[in-house]
Amino acid sequence: MARNAEYLSPEIVNWGVEDSGPYAGSPSFRVKVRRGLPDFLNSVNLKYVKLGYGYLLSHGIYCVAAPVLLATFGTQIWKLTWTTSFLDFTNFLNLIALLVFFCSVLYVYLDLTPRATYLVDFACYRPPNELKISKEEFTDLAKRSGKFSDAAIEFQQRVLKNSGLGDETYLPRIIFQPDHKITLRDGREEASMLMFGAVDNLLAATRIRPEDIRILIVNCGVLNPTPSLSAMIINHYKLSYKIQSFNLGGMGCAAGVTAIDLAKDLLSAYPGSYALVVSIEATTFTWYAGRELDMLLPNCFFRMGSAAILLSNHLTDRWRSKYELKQLVRTHKAMDSRSFKSIHLKEDAEGKKGLSVSKDVIEVGGHALKANITTLGPLVLPVSEQFHFFTSLLFKKKSKPYIPDYKRAFEHVCILATSKKVLDEIQKNLDLTNEYMEASRRTLERFGNTSSSSVWYELAYLEANKKIKRGDRIWQIALGSGFKCNSAVWKALRNVKQQKRNPWNDAED
C-alpha cells in the first residue's frame, strides 16, 4: 500500500540534509510527482457529491410529489361522487372544479415526466480482412514508408509492445504508402466505409426504413469536411426532408456518449421519433508521420471502427428494444488549463499535423473520472453504500472517506479501450475484478482504440458471449479530450442473444 501511495502522490525531496548518499549536496528541495490516476481513497470533492444529489432530487421530486397529489385529489373526487347529491348545484360545481384540476395535474405530470429512452439496437462495423495489421507488420510498413526516423520507429515499436493491442486490428493501408500525402478524399473514403457499413448493418437488423429516421447525430473527432459527415449520410440514404441533423466534431473519444445525451434531449422535443447516432474516427486524419514522440502515440493506439445506434422514446418500441437508458452524467474539465491542453491537435516544427498527447493525460483523466463517478454515485448506488459513504464523511477526521463499491450498482462495465496502462489504473482504483474488465481488454486487443465507438464494441462482446440478462445494468465510461469523462447507464430489457452481424462473430463474411 505504501508503494501505491508513493506512486500516486507528490514527494518532497530535501537536498543537503545528508553528508553523503542520494540526498547530499547544497541545501535545496524539489517536488517529484509520479503521474498516474489520483488516489480515489484519499479525497472526495463534496462539490460533485452535492451535484449528484441535486440531479437525484431534480429528477425524483416531481415523480414522487405528483402521484401523491393525484392520489389525494382522486380520493376527494371519489368521496364527492358517492356522498354528494347532484341536486346540490354548489357541490356539483365543486365536483366539476376538482375534476378539471385533477385532469390538469395529470396532464402536466404526463407532459413533464421524462419519457424513457430506449436503445432499439446497435451495430458495430468490422472492416475487411485485407485491412488487418499485426504489430510486426505495422513496424515493417512504417519503416518502408520512409516517413519516420529510426528513433520514431523504435519508439512506436516499444509502445506497441506494451499497448495491449493484438495482431488483428485494422488500419487503412494508404497511410503507409511512400511519398503519399493524406488528402481530404482519403478521409472521406474511410469515413464512408465506416459510417455506411455500420448503418447498413443496423438497418438490416432493425428493418427500419431510412425515411422514418427523424434525428441524425454523427460524431467524429478530427475529420470535419464540408458538406458534413451527417450530410453524407442523408445523401446516401435519402433521409426525410424533416430530418434534424447534427454533426459533432473535435470532441474526442467521449463524444459518443455526448451524442447519446443530445439524442435523448431531441427525442423529448420530437416524441415518438427515431434517432440515429453514428460514432466514428478517421484514422487517416489522426495519423502522424513526424518525429515528435508525443504526437506519435495516437499512431500506436487508434484503429478503424464505427458504431451506429438507433434510439426511440415511443412506448410501443419498448417490447423490441434491447436496453433502456437509466442515467447519463457528463463531466467537463476544460476550465483547467492542464486538462484543456492534455490532448490537442497541432502542427510540429515541420508543419506536420497530428494529435499531441501530454504526459499529464492519465492524471487529468483520473481527476475527470473521479468527479464523474462521484456525481454518478447518488444516482445508481444502493442505499447501504451511500449510508456507509456519508458515515465516513461525518467521521473523516478519524478515517479516510469510504469509497462505495460500484460493483454493487452494475453487472457489467464498458470502459473506453484506450490503452493497457489506463485500464490497469482504472481497475486498481475502482477495485474491479478481471471479469468486469474482460470486455474492455478484449476489445483493446482485437480492435484497438476505436475512439468513441469503443464502448459499443465492448457491449457487442458481452452480447456475443451471452452475458447480458434481463435486468442487468451496464455502465459505459468514455474519456476524451477537453478533458471529458462521460457515463451512460443502461438496463437490459430482455436476455440478449447473439446476433448474426455481431463484429465478434468471426464466422461472419
Q: Quick: pLDDT tens for 170-210.
A: 999 999 999 889 999 999 999 999 999 999 999 999 999 99
Residues 98 and 212 in one domain: no
**Annotated catalytic residue: which of 201, 299, 332, 414?**
332
Last residue of a domain, one of 99, 118, 137: 118
485 sits in which H/E element: strand 484-492
Q: For residue 180, indicate whether it is catalytic.
A: no
**Annotated catalytic residue: which of 247, 313, 412, 485?**
412
Where is average pLDDT lowest: 36-45, 334-343, 423-432?
A: 36-45
Q: Rounded mean pLDDT of 272-278?
A: 96
pLDDT value, residue 411:
95
pLDDT at 27 over 60: no
Last residue of a domain, one of 66, 86, 118: 118
- The greatest distance separating any two alpha carbons of the chain, rounded to the nearest whole angstrom, comes to 107
Please tell me the distance from the alpha carbon of residue 236 to that of residue 254, in angstroms, as a whole number: 26
Q: Rounded mean pLDDT of 111-131?
A: 87
Residue 427 lies inside a defined structural domain of this protein: yes
CATH number of the domain where residue 481 is located: 3.40.47.10
Radius of gyration of the chain (CA): 27
- SS3 at position 273: coil
Residues 256 and 243 in one domain: yes
Whole-angstrom CA distances from 143 to 151, 157, 176 are 11, 11, 9
Q: For residue 412, indicate whether it is catalytic.
A: yes
pLDDT at 310 over 60: yes
Q: Rounded mean pLDDT of 294-319?
A: 95
**Annotated catalytic residue: which of 124, 201, 219, 253?**
253
pLDDT value, residue 162:
92
All three cell numbers of 46, joined, read: 463534496
Residue 23 lies inside a defined structural domain of this protein: no
For residue 27, count CB atoms less than 10 angstroms from its CB and return exposed for 0-12, middle for 13-18, buried for 19 or more.
exposed
Residue 278 lies inside a defined structural domain of this protein: yes
Residue 508 lies inside a defined structural domain of this protein: no
- Its domain, for residue 68, covers 46-118
Residues 272 and 184 in one domain: yes
Residue 13 lies inside a defined structural domain of this protein: no
Kindly report the backbone phi and psi dihedral angles of residue 302, in degrees, each rounded to the nearest multiple of 5, phi listed first.
-70, 135
Whole-angstrom CA distances from 262 to 121, 150, 177, 257, 310 are 18, 45, 39, 9, 13
Residues 198 and 317 in one domain: yes
Q: For residue 313, indicate whether it is catalytic.
A: no
Residue 29 lies inside a defined structural domain of this protein: no
| Helix, strand, coil % in the chain, rounded to nearest 5 | 50, 20, 30
Residues 251 and 109 in one domain: no
Q: For residue 495, indicate whether it is catalytic.
A: no
Residue-wise pLDDT tens digits, 368-416: 998 998 888 888 888 887 777 667 666 654 455 566 788 889 999 999 9
User: How many separate domains does the chain show?
Assistant: 2
Residue-wise pLDDT tens digits, 32-89: 444 555 555 455 555 555 555 555 555 555 455 556 555 665 565 555 555 555 445 5
